[in-house]
Amino acid sequence: MNIQVILLLLLFVTLNSCSLIKSLQHPLDPLSPKEINKIRTIIQNSHLKTLSNLTYHFLDVEEPNKDDVLHWLSSSERKENRFSRRAKVVVIGGRQTHELIVDLSKGLIESNHVHNGHGYPSLTFEELLQASLLSQKDPKFLNSITRRNLNISQVSCLPLTKGWFGEVMSRREVKITCFYRNGTTNIYARPINGITIVFDLESMKVTKYMDRYRAPLPTAEGTEFHARRLEPGPTYPNTTNSKFSIQGNVIRWGDWKFHVAFNSRAGMIISTASIYDSKEKRYRRVLYRGHVSETFVPYMDPTEDWYYRTFMDVGEFGFGKAADSLQPFIDCPGNAKFIDGYLIDALGMPNKLPRAICLFERYSGDVAWRHTEIGVPGKVIRNGEPEVTLVARMIATVGNYDYILDWEFRQTGSITVGVGLTGVLEMKATSYTSTDQITEDVYGTLVAPNTIAVHHDHFVTYYLDLDVNGSENSFVRSSLQTERVRGFPSPRKSYWSIKKKVLKREADAKIRLGSEPAELIMVNPNKKTNVGNPVGYRLITGQPAYSLLADDDYPQMRNAYTKYQVWVTPYNKSERWAGGYYADQSHGLDGLAVWTRRNRRIENEDIVLWYTMGFHHVPCQEDFPIMATLQSSFELRPTNFFDKSTILYKA
Ligand SMILES: *[C@@H]1O[C@H](CO)[C@@H](O)[C@H](O)[C@H]1NC(C)=O
Ligand SMILES: *[C@@H]1O[C@H](CO)[C@@H](O)[C@H](O)[C@H]1NC(C)=O
Ligand SMILES: *[C@@H]1O[C@H](CO)[C@@H](O)[C@H](O)[C@H]1NC(C)=O
Ligand SMILES: *[C@@H]1O[C@H](CO)[C@@H](O)[C@H](O)[C@H]1NC(C)=O
Ligand SMILES: *[C@@H]1O[C@H](CO)[C@@H](O)[C@H](O)[C@H]1NC(C)=O
Ligand SMILES: *[C@@H]1O[C@H](CO)[C@@H](O)[C@H](O)[C@H]1NC(C)=O
Ligand SMILES: [Cu+2]
């Protein structure tokens, strides 16, 4: 190669990287602070400005049509961004919920739909804070505190969503529960029981107040949480050695390429994940979009203070709104890189959330693969490789609980989606100091004297728009069945074989996993491997759990999707939130269980997989005063996707 060619090549590379930087904006990129400001200006200058008490409840990029995004991805001409940036905004003004589509390039509100159905948008941080502060000034509440010989300066109050229990008329209200700190920062450990405060978020007033009984306040002693070690712990490989790149919101690591975004409702969203096929020298699509769709956390105490605690954290509060700034060396290891997120406040102003997401290579100490061969005469062949994975993480602190949400990419093409539960239990005060005294149903576990931690569930439902090597996919359930040996002599009497069933309609794909062995595979029936197997990705589930509430129980009606762990629906841009879009006080008239009643075709269509990870939480004493992380995960694993193991030859 002569010097001129080298110079030319260098020039080419430089030019190419320039155009790359210009076209960095991906159609699914979250809105920048500049864009958020522009949207607010557009709304403030519109007819909406006359509405009283205009507050912003949601704001995110309005995702372009999937076909357009896919076209953009595959097209080599990405020099100019063909996408007009549009935003979806939900505001409440004049006591009405407006759903707006704002066109940023045209600078106008393209559509304004008034939501007349049931349910309300997610709550804003500001109104929750106001509700807490104002209820602490209420004369009736002050009187209750004085009568209990408590000092108001030591009281903390928390507004909780109130659910829906068949009421015909509803108002935007929250129920407020209070705690007595006096000597602890673990407020949840010292609940003040017997008081019900209903707070109206439109008039910003206490609308109902009840003080029914007193239970002894649990002691502050032993409730505090302090780390044993405040210094950064183990050392990690130096960040500068990490083999992944972040360009805008696009992450490249090994053969993987994906987009990561942050949104106030879902938190972290993984999009357009593709894996490079070194044989074909092409990227192959795996996952168009994946994120938490809803969480359902019903408490199992039907009494007055507790019956309504049946939270839908994603729809009512928002995992993104609840996201915490990640702490280097604790929440993410020393080799992590961070991505900031942007949220809006109630007035539509952008607020930066530093370190909303982290990415890091995990050196787990696990074995990626190994083998020792002694069958070759005169030799012992021993080989293998350590496991290195790439993790994308965020943490949502929803009141007392902390959810650690991971997407872990493996070099094999596998994706492990993990949830870690930690934080503080929700507890109630009781007169009992020993389990021996208890003869009634107390709906929980006595975790400390005068302290009952109430039984509850956590259901975390994932939206998984898999596009296995293309959009048209089918979902196959392969059951393992015992067979008798027939037709020829064999000393064996039985074996198992596979009965494959391609699920044709939505009703076939409502699956409650149990002890029956089955493989669940998303296949592309139009793409075959070199030996003719349809390419696929298999869902390897964790321990199955489904909701045990009665079907006619109100919280269950609102979260009917938690009766099955697996659902499959045809892709529809507007069907993303399993519990319905307006989750606060919803009536269960929107969401997965409702959409699938149409029983649409799901064979060889663009389909979406929904998976619910569940935890039935029977609290134990070790969960008090702080709960060590409880993990669960599921895996999306290539299954006849590649022609052979990909772990040996990597770029
Ligand atoms: C608050 O805590 C202090 C110190 O432990 C204690 O002396 C006091 O009695 C407590 N006050 C109330 C009202 O519980
Ligand atoms: C309540 O607590 C505040 C601050 O902790 C203290 O200044 C005040 O004297 C206390 N009031 C009573 C009645 O104990
Ligand atoms: C606006 O908010 C105030 C309290 O902040 C309330 O008194 C008033 O009723 C609200 N107006 C409307 C139309 O909701
Ligand atoms: C990582 O390595 C680089 C280059 O060797 C060095 O400059 C940097 O200080 C190191 N960072 C840490 C956190 O050790
Ligand atoms: C499907 O996989 C083939 C390689 O087997 C690749 O050439 C093609 O681009 C892939 N298509 C999609 C849409 O992923
Ligand atoms: C998409 O889903 C929504 C909500 O279920 C429905 O109203 C709409 O008709 C669907 N669109 C198509 C094209 O099926
Ligand atoms: Cu729990």
Nearest CA to ligand 6 atom 1: 572
* Res 249: pLDDT: 96
Burial (CB < 10 A; 0-12, 13-18, 19+), residue 300, is buried
In this predicted model, what pLDDT tens digit does every residue of 456-502 receive, in sequence order?
999 999 999 999 999 999 999 999 999 999 999 999 999 999 999 99
Residue in 48, 50, 51, 52 to alter for ligand 3 test, most ligand atoms within 8 A of Cβ: 52
Neighbour tally for 521: CB within 10 Å: 23
For the segment 39-58, the average pLDDT, to the nearest whole number, is 95
Using CA atoms, how far residue 292 sits from 237, 566, 567, 577, 636, in Å, is: 30, 14, 14, 9, 15
For the segment 292-313, the average pLDDT, to the nearest whole number, is 97
Sign of CA dihedral 323, 200, 162, 58: negative
* Res 14: pLDDT: 38
* Res 7: pLDDT: 42
Tell me the pTM: 0.93
pLDDT at residue 22 greater than cutoff 60: no
**What gap in Å lies between CA 176 and CA 197, rounded to an integer?**
5
* Res 239: pLDDT: 55
Taking alpha carbons only, the member of 585, 543, 594, 586 closest to residue 567 is 594
In 264-279, which positions are buried (b, 16+ CB within 10 angstroms) versus exposed (e)? bbbbbbbbbbbbbbee
* Res 646: pLDDT: 84
In this predicted model, what pLDDT tens digit does every residue of 624-636 receive, in sequence order?
999 999 999 999 9
pLDDT at residue 24 greater than cutoff 80: no
pLDDT at residue 17 greater than cutoff 50: no
pLDDT at residue 325 greater than cutoff 60: yes
Q: Give the Å distance between the CA of 200 and the centre of ligand 3.
A: 10
Atom of ligand 5 nearest to the CA of 74: 13
pLDDT confidence bin for 237, thresholds 50/70/90: low
* Res 287: pLDDT: 98
β-sheet bridge partners, residue 362: 389
CB-based contact 299:322 (threshold 8 Å):
no
pLDDT confidence bin for 235, thresholds 50/70/90: low
> Residues of the chain with pLDDT > 70: what percent?
93
Nearest CA to ligand 1 atom 4: 183
Ligand 6 neighbours (beta carbon < 6 A): 572, 574-575, 595
**Ion ligand 7: residues, Cβ under 5 Å:** 617
Task: State both tokens at 579.
Answer: 């519990």
Query: DSSP assignment of 308-353, as one string?
Result: T-EE-IIIII-TTTTB-PPPBTTTB-TT-EEEEEEEE-TTS-EEEE
In this predicted model, what pLDDT tens digit does every residue of 349-390 receive, in sequence order?
999 999 999 999 998 899 999 999 999 999 999 999 999 999
3-state per-residue secondary structure call for 355-393: EEEEEEEEEEEEEEEEEEECCCCCCCEEEEEEEEEEEEE
Taking alpha carbons only, the member of 404, 407, 605 closest to residue 523 is 605
| For the CA of 220, the nearest ligand | 1
pLDDT at residue 215 greater than cutoff 90: no
- Average pLDDT over all residues of the chain: 92
In this predicted model, what pLDDT tens digit does every residue of 376-431 receive, in sequence order?
999 999 999 999 999 999 999 999 999 999 999 999 999 999 999 999 999 999 99
* Res 227: pLDDT: 75
pLDDT at residue 163 greater than cutoff 50: yes
**What gap in Å lies between CA 103 and CA 87, rounded to an integer?**
7
State which of 75-79, 234-238, 555-559, 643-647 shows the largest mean pLDDT.
555-559
* Res 83: pLDDT: 78
* Res 628: pLDDT: 96
pLDDT confidence bin for 234, thresholds 50/70/90: low
Atom of ligand 5 nearest to the CA of 471: 13
77/199: higher pLDDT: 199
3-state per-residue secondary structure call for 515-535: CCCEEEEEEEEEEECCCCCEE
**What gap in Å lies between CA 548 and CA 552, rounded to an integer?**
12
For the segment 107-113, the average pLDDT, to the nearest whole number, is 97
**What gap in Å lies between CA 120 and CA 95, rounded to an integer?**
11
* Res 68: pLDDT: 92
In this predicted model, what pLDDT tens digit does every residue of 568-604 receive, in sequence order?
999 999 999 999 999 999 999 999 999 999 999 999 9
**What gap in Å lies between CA 187 and CA 115, rounded to an integer?**
37
Structural domains of the chain in order of their starting residue, each with its CATH number: 26-115 (3.10.450.40), 125-211 (3.10.450.40), 244-476+504-639 (2.70.98.20)
pLDDT at residue 62 greater than cutoff 60: yes
> Residues of the chain with pLDDT > 90: what percent?
84
**What gap in Å lies between CA 521 and CA 515, rounded to an integer?**
18
Q: Give the Å distance between the CA of 161 and the centre of ligand 3.
A: 20
401 part of the active site: yes
